[in-house]
Structure 1
Amino acid sequence: MEHPVHPFSELFEQLGLDADDASIKAFLERHAPLPSAMALHEAPFWNPAQAEFLEAALEEDADWAEVVDHLDASLRKR
């Protein structure tokens, strides 16, 4: 059974990315800020499977939606 709330690092694991604190920080620094008009899943650095997962998580309001929103907000800061 899945948890209803996922930690930020677990989202990175789900996306097939390194999930330690230093790797997450480096990812955010490398890719932020996203343009305000660009949807998170449209960012050019996602592969098709990652983009599909992110889009579906938000569209379906899945248990991943909250942490995907957190990722979106983190990539818009700079």
Structure 2
Amino acid sequence: MPDDPTGGYVTNPRQTKLILTQAVSDVTRFMEGAQMLGTGIQIRLVALPKKEEPLVFQEWWEVRVFDDPHLGSPDSE
């Protein structure tokens, strides 16, 4: 996971967590948590360059968790 000094917490008070992971189990865990808590979630598959090889890209899951269940929906963007 890329270096993140904030531990994934973001400055937007309505967006509570941002993680980048390559493990589908992490994505599943956050999906289940969002469903149980009734929070919004947004999941995207992104390609990011490697630090040591900027022309080589790796796939990452970008997971954003929101306090408001409507903020993770496509209508909110």
Tell me the TM-score normalized by structure 1: 0.30
Higher relative contact order (CA 8 A, sep 6+): 1
Tell me the TM-score normalized by structure 2: 0.30
Which structure has the larger Rg? Answer: 2
More helix by share: 1
